[in-house]
Amino acid sequence: MMRTTTGYFFMAEKSYTKPALTVSQQLEFLFSQGLQIEDQKLAIRALETVSYYRLSSYLLPFKQSHNAKNPRQFKENATFEQVWQLYQFDRELRLLVADAIEKIEVAFRAALTNVTSIRFNPFWYVERNYFKAKAGANRERDFFDDYLKTIKTISTNKQELFIQHYHKNYDKPYFPPIWMMVEALSFGVCSKMFNNIQSKDVRNEIASFLGQHTTVIESWIKSLTYTRNLCAHHSRLWNRWLVIPPLIPKNAPIKTHIDGNYRFQLIAFIIDQLLETIAPESNWKIKLFELFERNEQFSGIEMGFINNWRDDPIWHC
Least Cα distance to 297 among 148, 71, 1, 83 occurs for: 83
* CB 206 within 8 Å of CB 111: yes
Q: Domain residues of the chain, as ranges?
A: 23-78, 91-315
Average pLDDT, the chain: 90
Q: What percent of the chain has pLDDT over 70?
A: 90
- Give pLDDT, residue 11: 66
- Give pLDDT, residue 4: 59
- Give pLDDT, residue 317: 60
Q: What is the mean pLDDT of residues 177-204?
A: 96
- What does the pLDDT look like over 106-120, one tens digit per residue? 999 999 999 999 999
Q: What is the mean pLDDT of residues 85-106?
A: 98
Least trusted range by pLDDT, from 89-103, 125-139, 175-189, 258-272: 125-139
CA gap 226, 48 in Å, rounded: 29
Q: What is the mean pLDDT of residues 28-42?
A: 95
Q: Does the pLDDT of residue 138 top 50, yes or no?
A: no
- Amino acid, res. 183: E
Q: Is 18 left (phi over 0), alpha (psi -120 to 50) or beta?
A: beta
- What does the pLDDT look like over 196-220, one tens digit per residue? 999 999 999 999 999 999 999 999 9
Q: What is the mean pLDDT of residues 217-228?
A: 96
Q: What is the mean pLDDT of residues 129-143?
A: 70
CA gap 56, 53 in Å, rounded: 5
* CB 247 within 8 Å of CB 266: no
- What does the pLDDT look like over 5-24, one tens digit per residue? 666 556 678 888 889 999 99
- Give pLDDT, residue 140: 44
* CB 296 within 8 Å of CB 236: no
Q: Does the pLDDT of residue 258 top 80, yes or no?
A: no
pLDDT higher at 122 or 73: 122
- Give pLDDT, residue 71: 62
Q: What is the mean pLDDT of residues 144-153?
A: 93
- Give pLDDT, residue 315: 81
Give pTM, 2 decimals.
0.88
Q: What is the mean pLDDT of residues 150-159?
A: 87
pLDDT higher at 4 or 185: 185
- What does the pLDDT look like over 242-255, one tens digit per residue? 888 899 888 887 77
- What does the pLDDT look like over 43-59, one tens digit per residue? 999 999 999 999 999 99
